[in-house]
Amino acid sequence: MENSVKAIIIGASIAITMVIVSVGFYILRQGQDAARNTSEKISNMNTQIAESDYTMYDGLDISGSEVVNVLNKFKNQYIGIRVETGKKSTGTWYIYDVTIDDDTANVGKKSTNKISNVIDETKNEYINPNGRFTGKVYRDENGAISALEFIQNTK
């Protein structure tokens, strides 16, 4: 009888150990899922913060002087900035030339247009500091921001 009690105790101990190990694995899986979801959210937030310098202009109406500031701010970046004024309705690419197909922007060669022309009233590229411009952001095939566009509001 003593052996049967020991066998029951050993069997119960093994069953309890299996339940504890199973619960441990379940909690571990839940923690991994929570950590993965949190990691994805942090990654998305980092991307949004990194792109906020550019995306803040999407759909925003700004002054011509702010457009000039944007050109100077991003002049050392790998991005094209197109400005369309009332004086030059075809627009001018600065920093890099970009081709846009179906809202997808492909950065090309370095632009030969000088940013200094935008403050010279005698040039066709002159940007009126009091003019109002609407911004737009373009992305490439990889989803990276590759171009900004500012079109002067003529009304």
Tokens linked to 11: 């069997």
Q: What is the pLDDT, as a whole number, of residue 12?
A: 82
For 36-84, give the DSSP string. Answer: HHHHHHHHHHHHHHHHHHHHTTTT-EEEHHHHHHHHHHTTTSS-EEEEE
pLDDT for residue 155: 66
Pairing of strands 132-139, 145-152: antiparallel
Convert the pLDDT of each residue in 95-151 to its tens digit: 999 998 888 888 989 999 999 989 988 888 899 999 999 999 999 998 889 999 999
Residue in the structure block whose two tokens are 């197909």: 101
State pLDDT tens for residues 14-34: 888 888 888 888 888 887 877
Please state whether 133 falls in left (phi above 0), alpha (psi between -120 and 50) or beta.
beta
